[in-house]
Amino acid sequence: MFETNYDDCWLRYERVDDDELRTSYRQRLSHAYVSEGAPELGAVRAELGRGFEGLLGREPHLWQHPPRSIERFLVIGHPEEMRPISETIDPDEIWTLAEDGYVIRTVEWEEHECTVVTAPSDRGLVYGTFHLLRLLALGEPIDDLDIVEEPANNSRILNHWDNPFRRSVERGYAGQSIFDWERLPDLRERYVDYARLLASLGINGIVPNNVNTGIPSRPTANDAVAERAGWQLLESENLEKVEALASVFRRYGIRTYLSVNYAAPIRLGGLETADPLDPEVQQWWQDKADEVYDVIPDFGGFLVKADSEGQPGPYDYDRSHAEGANVLAEALEPHGGRVWWRAFVYSEHDDRAVQAYETFEPIDGEFHENVTVQIKNGPIDFQQREPISTLFGAMPETDLGCELQLTGEYTGQGVHATYHVPMWKEILEFDTYADGEGTPVKDVLADREGQGIAGVGIVGEDPNWTGNYLLQSNLYGFGRLCWDPDLTAEEITDEWVRQTFGHDETVVETVSDMLLESWDACIDYHTGGLGLMHMMYNGEAALENHYDPAPEEWPEYVGATGDGIGVDRTSSGSGYAAQYRAPLTDLYDDPETCPEELLLFFHHLPWEYELPDGTTVVQRLYDNCFDGVEAVRELRARWNGLEGRVDDRRYRHVAERFDEHVVQAERWRDALCAYFYDHSTVADENGRVPR
Chain contacts with ligand GCU (rule: CB under 6 A): 170-171, 211-212, 305, 309, 344, 381, 409
Q: How far is the CB of 454 from ligand GCU (least distance, A)?
A: 11
Cβ proximity to ligand GCU, 542 vs 637, nearer residue: 542
* Percent helix, percent strand, percent coil in the chain, to nearest 5: 45, 15, 45
Which residue lies nearer to ligand GCU by CB, 170 or 386? 170
Among 660, 670, 616, which Cα is nearest to 636's? 660
Tell me the C-alpha distance between 310 and 313, whole Å. 9
Q: How far is the CB of 160 from ligand GCU (least distance, A)?
A: 12
Among 55, 174, 208, 140, which Cα is nearest to 470's? 174
- Asked if residues 412 and 418 have their Cβ atoms less than 8 Å apart, the reply is yes
State the nearest-atom distance from the C-beta of 446 to ligand GCU, in Å: 24
Closest to ligand GCU by CB, 56 vs 375, is: 375
Least distance in angstroms from the C-beta of 380 to ligand GCU: 9
Dist CA 645 CA 638 (whole Å): 12
Give the residue with the Cβ less far from ligand GCU, 26 or 171: 171
Q: List Cβ neighbours of 194 (8 Å cut-off, separation of 6 or more).
A: 178, 459
Please answer whether residues 254 and 203 qualify as being in contact, where contact means their C-beta atoms are separated by less than 8 angstroms: yes
How far apart (Å, rounded) are the C-alpha atoms in residues 367 and 216? 30
CB of 331 to ligand GCU, least distance (A): 23
Q: Which is nearer to ligand GCU, 211 or 522 (CB)?
A: 211
Distance, CA of 389 to CA of 577 (rounded, Å): 10
CA 338, CA 651: separation in Å to the nearest integer? 43
Query: Is residue 431 classed as helix, strand or coil in its secondary structure?
Result: strand
Contact call for residues 294 and 332 (beta carbons, < 8 A): no
Task: Give me the amino acid identity at 78.
Answer: H
Count of residues making up the chain = 691
How far apart, in whole angstroms, are the C-alpha atoms of residue 233 and residue 473?
Answer: 31
What is 286-314 written as a DSSP string? HHHHHHHHHH-TT--EEEE--SBTTB--G
Name the minimum Å distance from CB 381 to ligand GCU: 5
> Which residue in 219, 209, 239 sits closest to 304, CA to CA?
209
Q: Taking the CA of residue 244 as centre, how many other CA atoms within 13 Å lie in the half-sphere pointing to its CB?
A: 18
- Give the nearer residue to ligand GCU in terms of CB position, either 170 or 333: 170
Q: How far apart (Å, rounded) are the C-alpha atoms in residues 246 and 278? A: 32
- Alpha carbon distance 494, 474 (integer Å): 13
Catalytic residue among 180, 243, 409, 431: 409
Distance, in Å, from the CA atom of 5 to the CA atom of 256, rounded to the nearest integer, reads 26
What is the amino acid identity at position 434? A
Query: Residue 321 and residue 307: Cα distance in Å, rounded?
Result: 9
Q: Which of 516, 515, 533 is nearest to 524 (CA)?
A: 533
Cβ atoms 99, 121 nearer than 8 A: yes
A 10 A CB-CB count for 678 gives: 12
CA-closest candidate to residue 324, choices 287, 363, 375: 363
Looking at the Cβ atoms of 539 and 606, the one nearer to ligand GCU is: 539
Q: 593 near 586, Cβ under 8 Å?
A: yes
Minimum CB–partner distance for residue 66 and ligand GCU (Å): 52
Nearer to ligand GCU, 156 or 171 (CB): 171
462 has catalytic annotation: no
**Does residue 290 have an active-site annotation?**
no
**Where are the strands (E) in 546-673, listed by range?**
564-565, 605-606
Angle at 429 between CA 424 and CA 432, to 5 degrees: 115
Task: Determine how β-strand 258-260 pairs with β-strand 301-304.
Answer: parallel
Please say whether the beta carbons of 314 and 360 come within 8 A. Answer: no
Catalytic entry in 14, 364, 381, 670: 381
What is the rounded distance in angstroms from the CA atom of residue 333 to the CA atom of residue 174?
36
Whether the CB-CB separation of 433 and 390 falls below 8 Å is answered with no
Helix H or strand E segment including 639:
helix 617-640
Give yes or no for a contact between 187 and 244, defined as CB atoms under 8 angstroms apart: yes
Which residue, 154 or 377, is less far from ligand GCU as judged by CB?
377
**Which of the residues 17, 309, 350, 590 is marked catalytic?**
309
Rounded to whole angstroms, the Cα distance separating 689 from 633 reads 19
Give the containing element (helix H, strand E) for 557.
helix 555-558
The verdict on whether 409 is a catalytic residue reads yes
Residues classed as catalytic: 309, 381, 409
